[in-house]
């Protein structure tokens, strides 16, 4: 069955199942080919808790860009200590990072959108492709309410660029529901969330948001317009 047909099938047939049931089904249908990428934010910590508590055979990986917050490393460590399960780190290619810094310096992403996307591609997209290689299902912590360009997302989507089915288990969750889960089950979380950081990425490119600001306002705040993304979740080839 083609990936698009499979995506439609999962959206139709699994709609009434719980998150745990859907994850277990993915494991059964795609043994050893299900991967979850975490950046240790609220949403990802919820999914990590579900995977590890239920001992699901799902690979949990993270992308270490080399520019993440110390607080992110701390929640990484506390998550390893809490669950006693592995989380594999993928890094950007050293040669490309060195070339970028040699040619444009350490903060080229502030200079232009083109430069920022170049940095994101090297530090995030390339490692992601390595992490997804050989897998059928990519689990993410995306929620529909996080930004305007995610509002029409589906629970199961075909990511054509990576030739993989993306499963978004928290698609319909609100931020409040996500935080409530973390608090109720005492899940390790990034303390930056307590300081107004709702979406946490690389340190030079992330700031806290003010009351009333858009969820994504703290990411690449110097750029104009909404719907800002790093390229990880582009569905285009």
> Looking at residue 20, which CATH number applies to its domain?
3.40.50.620
- 70 and 39 in contact (C-beta within 8 Å)? no
Q: Which of 120, 202, 205, 230 is catalytic?
A: 230
- Determine, yes or no, domain membership for 58: yes
Q: What is the pLDDT of residue 236?
A: 41
Question: Does the residue 209 lie in any domain?
Answer: no
Structure token pair of residue 167: 């499963």
- For residue 237, what pLDDT is reported? 36
Question: For residue 53, is it within any domain?
Answer: yes
Q: The whole model's pTM is what? A: 0.91
116: in domain: yes
120 carries an active-site annotation: no
Number of domains in the chain: 1
- pLDDT number for residue 150: 53
Is 223 domain-assigned?
no
Other residues' Cβ atoms within 10 Å of the Cβ of residue 234: 13
Residue 49 inside a domain? The answer is: yes
Quote the pLDDT of residue 219. Answer: 87
**Is residue 155 assigned to a domain?**
yes
Residue spans of the chain under pLDDT 50: 235-237
Tokens 């810094």 found at: 101
pLDDT score recorded for residue 137: 98
Confidence at residue 148, expressed as pLDDT on a 0 to 100 scale? 55
Which domain range does residue 117 map to? 3-192
Instruction: Say if 187 falls within a structural domain.
Output: yes
């Amino acid at each position: 069955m083609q990936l698009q047909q499979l995506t439609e099938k999962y959206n139709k047939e699994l709609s009434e199942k719980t998150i745990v049931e859907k994850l277990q089904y993915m494991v059964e249908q795609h043994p050893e080919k299900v991967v979850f990428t975490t950046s240790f934010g609220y949403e990802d910590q919820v999914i990590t808790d579900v995977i590890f508590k239920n001992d699901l055979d799902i690979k949990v990986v993270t992308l270490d860009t080399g520019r993440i917050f110390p607080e992110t490393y701390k929640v990484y460590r506390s998550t390893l200590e809490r669950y006693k399960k592995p989380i594999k780190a993928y890094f950007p290619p050293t040669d490309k990072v060195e070339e970028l810094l040699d040619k444009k310096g350490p903060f080229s992403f502030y200079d232009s959108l083109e430069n920022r996307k170049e940095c994101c591609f090297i530090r995030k997209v390339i490692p992601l492709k390595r992490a997804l290689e050989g897998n059928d299902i990519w689990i993410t912590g995306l929620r529909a309410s996080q930004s305007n360009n995610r509002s029409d997302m589906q629970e199961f989507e075909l990511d054509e660029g990576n030739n993989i089915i993306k499963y978004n288990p928290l698609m319909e969750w609100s931020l409040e529901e996500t935080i409530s889960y973390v608090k109720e089950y005492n899940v390790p979380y990034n303390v930056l969330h307590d300081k107004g950081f709702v979406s946490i990425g690389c340190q030079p490119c992330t700031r806290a948001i003010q009351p009333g600001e858009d969820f994504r306002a703290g990411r690449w705040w110097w750029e104009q317009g909404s719907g800002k993304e790093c390229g990880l979740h582009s569905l285009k080839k």
